[in-house]
Copies of this chain bind each other. A is one copy, B any other.
Amino acid sequence: MVNALIRKLEGFTPLSDNDRTLLSELSNRAVSISADQPIILQGDAPSDVRVVLEGFAARSKTLRDGSQQIFAYLVPGDFCDLHVAVLSAMDHDIRTLTPCKVANISKKTVREIAETRPNLMQALWWCTLVDAATLREWLVNIGQRSAEERIAHLFCELHVRLKAVGLGSSKSFELPITQDVLAKTMGLSSVHVNRSLKELRERELVTFKSRVIKIPDIGRLEEYAEFDSSYLHLTRGPAYAEAHAAA
């Protein structure tokens, strides 16, 4: 499989052969982590930047009473902690949801990129800004939509994001999480998630069985969830246009 990170960044900016080489070398130094393991915990001040190359992970916080909120899924190509260069410590946890392959990028490499490859560096900032935009959309999702709409919206988002890194097909994709994880993502109880999934299934909008999402009619689901992918900023950024204008 082509490195998901490269695939993702190329959606934003054209990469030079040098860039691609640099990025694909990272995957040699990738570490395997099993499911349900912490990658980074709140308070950590990691020295390296980590990227998920394979598998699913999640950002989360746990409250005193044990309740947990997930506020981002990390899919292949997503950075864990691009911000630690600026912020000194993690303010949340990242844990694997499935077995993952995670690459380490040393601080030194990041500094090199910052100094010698502005184009690539901008692509990295693009990643963190898209993460923030996604977070905003999730807040709207949880704040304003019903349980069923929320879930439908999340599925639409994951469908687009996974396609962008070459995972899943037009009508289905693998989502290797439990309904309980989904509940912690949506701010709902797992029982209610279950009933909402049933409702979505009966309306033939989407099914979620054996960790596979099947979407008979993506247009209808997106309409139902009022999903508009523009917040994912997958269209080429200004850097891309400039580069092409120069060519």
Contact = CB atoms under 8 A, between A and B. Distances in A.
How many copies altogether? 2
Interface residues of A, number: 46
Interface in A62-90: 63-64, 67-69, 71-72, 83, 85-89
A122 B86 contact: yes
A135 B149 CA distance: 21
Nearest to A131: B132
Contacts of A233: 87-88, 91
Interface string A87-130: 11101100000000000000000000000000000100110111
Given A138-B139, A143-B69, A233-B87, A129 B126 contact: no
Nearest to A127: B86
Contacts of A133: 87, 91
Contact of A69 (B126, B130, B144): B144
